[in-house]
């Protein structure tokens, strides 16, 4: 049976920080222009919560606003993120393509499980041609519970997989791995937090480390 290797997207494969501030600043400028926001853009707040479902993001960033305004802000934000991706302003982390190629050539089943929206994820996978190696990309939008553990479980069930690893930079990725009996590999990258990384089975500082780690897990 093939071994599943399930990647988070933001802060794991894709350097979201390259486009985050631009898109968030544009979004809150738009809100200010509409008279819906008067303060500075809460960039630091967003960095702290990177990786949580988008509904939660906007509840935190716009705590006193209606769901209608939150939906509007999110739609604008997503459009700006996608514009920046297509304009080439984003960037993958070092060694992403080399690592994916290595794993694919060694017959691992590769997936993306992300809290990002489908159109955003599609923009990244298409722009960087990740589908050359990734079997399927799963968005949290596909899961009613909005829980990444359930999203990972759906991947395992759909492809009849029982063993593998989840690679990500936040606690939701680590919990998703452990809830499904998989190995939790923490990425100590831009948005990672030390207290969360302590919960991982293994912590890496460069994706290239995965070649040896995944091979060891599979008994190579």
Residue 114: φ, ψ to 5°: -135, 150
Domain boundaries, the chain: 4-15+91-217, 17-86
Break the chain down into helix, strand, coil percent, rounded to 5: 50, 15, 35
Rounded Cα distance, 93 and 32, in Å: 33
Regarding the domain with residue range 4-15+91-217, which homologous superfamily does it belong to in the CATH classification? HAD superfamily/HAD-like (3.40.50.1000)
Closest CA to 23 of 60, 87, 77: 77
Q: What is the pLDDT along the chain (220 residues), one digit of tens a residue?
A: 579 999 999 999 999 989 988 999 999 999 999 999 999 999 888 888 877 778 889 999 999 999 999 999 999 999 999 999 999 999 999 999 999 999 999 999 999 999 999 999 999 999 999 999 999 999 999 998 889 999 999 999 999 998 999 999 999 999 999 999 999 999 999 888 999 999 999 999 999 999 999 988 875 4
pLDDT of residue 220: 43
Which stretches within the chain are classed as H helix? Answer: 17-33, 43-49, 54-61, 67-86, 96-105, 118-127, 148-158, 171-179, 194-197, 210-217
Q: How many C-beta atoms lie closer than 10 Å to residue 170's C-beta? A: 25
């Amino acid at each position: 049976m093939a071994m599943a290797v399930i990647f988070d997207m933001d802060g794991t494969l894709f350097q979201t920080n390259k486009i985050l501030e631009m898109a968030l600043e544009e979004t809150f400028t738009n809100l200010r222009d509409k008279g819906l926001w008067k303060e500075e853009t809460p960039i630091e707040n967003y960095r702290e919560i990177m990786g949580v479902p988008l509904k939660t993001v906007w509840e935190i960033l716009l705590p006193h606003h209606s769901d209608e305004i939150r939906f509007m802000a999110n739609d604008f934000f997503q459009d700006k993120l996608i514009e920046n991706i297509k304009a080439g302003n984003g960037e993958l982390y070092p060694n992403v393509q080399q690592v994916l190629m290595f794993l694919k050539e060694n017959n691992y089943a590769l997936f993306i499980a992300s809290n990002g929206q489908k159109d955003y994820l599609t923009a990244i996978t298409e722009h960087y041609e990740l589908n050359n190696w990734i079997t399927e990309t799963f968005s949290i939008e596909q899961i009613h519970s909005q829980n990444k553990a359930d999203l990972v479980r759906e991947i395992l069930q759909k492809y009849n997989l029982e063993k593998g690893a989840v690679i990500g930079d936040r606690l939701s990725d680590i919990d998703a791995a452990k809830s499904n009996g998989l190995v939790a590999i923490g990425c100590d990258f831009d948005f990672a937090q030390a207290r969360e990384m302590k919960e991982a089975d293994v912590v890496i500082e460069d994706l290239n480390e995965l070649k040896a780690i995944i091979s060891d897990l599979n008994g190579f």
